Every structure is written in structure tokens, then in C-alpha cells.
């Protein structure tokens, strides 16, 4: 029999992977053919940040690296670049998770926004250095704005639907 804490971690990790795969499937479905004027948010980035800040024990670094590597391959991006940026960014957030949890949500949102900006710049810089085709900067900025706007919605839905509350006291009482 699996002990309850380990079972909770495994179920949380499985739920995270399933949600990630659902978001990836949604990105692959052709919804609006033609030119996209306002790019949608990167919900997989939001989901990973929310999960790392709410339940860091449920998403190990290997899981994040592998699922974002799969996303790189399926979306035909430079293989491993966004996965490496995600691993570095989520590990930076994981290190500061305990301190961020005690602060108001607006401060967490601002810090996540800054971290996402650094991650997007960290993705774009090597592509420019190695002369890889870059998406237009305006589209990247619009996607960044949409991603930052979607973060509170993803965090709220994760807390409400999947039991990922922000406070450690709330999460500790749910495990008992």
C-alpha cells in the first residue's frame, strides 16, 4: 500500500501532466485559420509556475524538463531550449517558494511576471545569437501580456478546482 503523502504526490504529478497534455492538445487544434492578431497566453507556462509555487513536491525538475522537451519537439521549436529555460525558471521560483507564499498575491504576481519576462528574454537571446528565425517582437510582447493576464485566472482555477491553495496552512489541513 502506498503511503498517503506519496500517493498524493503521484496523483498531483499525474494531474499536472494530464493538464499539460490537454493544453498542448488545445494548442495543436486549428481554431482560427489565417493570421492571428493577438496571440493567446502560454497556459503551460502559467500552469507550471502555479504548480511549482503551490505544490513544489509534486512537480520534480525531471518532469518539467521532459514535458517541455516534448512540447519543443511537437511545436517544432529549437529542441531543448525552452525546456532548459523552463527548468532554470521553475527552479528559481522553487527556491523562493516559501518566501513568496507568505506575501500577498499581487507581489507574487509581480515576481512571476518579472521571472517570465527574464525567461522569455533568455529564450530569445540564444536564438538571436545563433541566427535562428525569431518571432516578431511585437507578437512576443503581446503573448507575454496575455500570459501575465492569464496567470491569476490559472492560479484561481488551480486553487478552486484542483485543491492548490496559496497558503501552506490551507494545504496542510487538506492533506489530513
The total number of residues written for the chain in this structure: 176
pLDDT tier at 36, thresholds 50, 70, 90? low
Closest C-alpha to 125, from 140, 109, 110, 114: 140
Is residue 168 predicted with pLDDT exceeding 80?
no
Our CA dihedral for 15, 13, 113, 163, rounded to 10 degrees, sits at 60
* Cα–Cα distance, 169 to 28 (Å, whole number): 38
pLDDT tier at 32, thresholds 50, 70, 90? low
Mean pLDDT across the chain, nearest whole number?
89
Residue 175 pLDDT:
47
Question: For the residues 47-62, what does the mean pLDDT come to?
Answer: 93
pLDDT tier at 115, thresholds 50, 70, 90? very high
Choice between 161 and 36, residue whose per-residue pLDDT is larger: 161
Is residue 6 predicted with pLDDT exceeding 70?
yes
- As a whole number of angstroms, the longest Cα–Cα distance in the chain is 53
Quote the number of domains for the chain: 1
Q: What is the pLDDT of residues 84-100, one digit of tens each?
A: 999 999 999 999 887 77
Which residue is associated with the grid cell 489530513? 176
Q: What is the pLDDT of residues 64-86, one digit of tens each?
A: 999 999 999 999 999 999 999 99
Residue 68 domain boundaries: 4-29+38-175
Is residue 14 predicted with pLDDT exceeding 80?
yes
pLDDT tier at 159, thresholds 50, 70, 90? confident
DSSP state of 162: S
Amino acid at each position: 500500500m502506498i503511503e498517503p503523502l506519496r500517493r498524493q504526490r503521484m496523483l498531483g504529478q499525474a494531474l499536472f501532466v494530464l493538464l499539460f497534455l490537454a493544453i498542448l492538445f488545445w494548442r495543436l487544434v486549428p481554431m482560427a485559420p489565417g493570421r492571428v492578431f493577438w496571440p493567446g497566453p502560454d497556459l503551460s507556462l502559467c500552469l507550471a509556475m502555479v504548480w511549482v509555487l503551490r505544490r513544489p513536491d509534486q512537480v520534480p525538475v525531471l518532469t518539467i524538463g521532459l514535458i517541455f522537451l516534448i512540447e519543443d519537439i511537437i511545436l517544432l521549436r529549437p529542441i531543448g531550449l525552452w525546456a532548459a529555460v523552463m527548468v532554470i525558471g521553475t527552479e528559481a521560483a522553487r527556491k523562493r517558494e516559501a518566501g513568496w507564499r507568505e506575501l500577498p498575491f499581487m507581489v507574487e504576481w509581480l515576481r512571476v511576471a518579472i521571472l517570465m519576462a527574464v525567461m522569455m528574454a533568455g529564450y530569445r537571446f540564444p536564438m538571436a545569437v545563433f541566427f535562428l528565425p525569431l518571432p516578431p517582437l511585437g507578437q512576443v510582447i503581446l503573448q507575454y501580456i496575455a500570459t501575465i493576464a492569464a496567470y491569476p485566472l490559472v492560479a484561481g482555477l488551480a486553487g478552486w478546482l484542483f485543491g492548490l491553495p496559496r497558503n501552506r496552512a490551507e494545504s496542510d489541513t487538506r492533506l489530513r
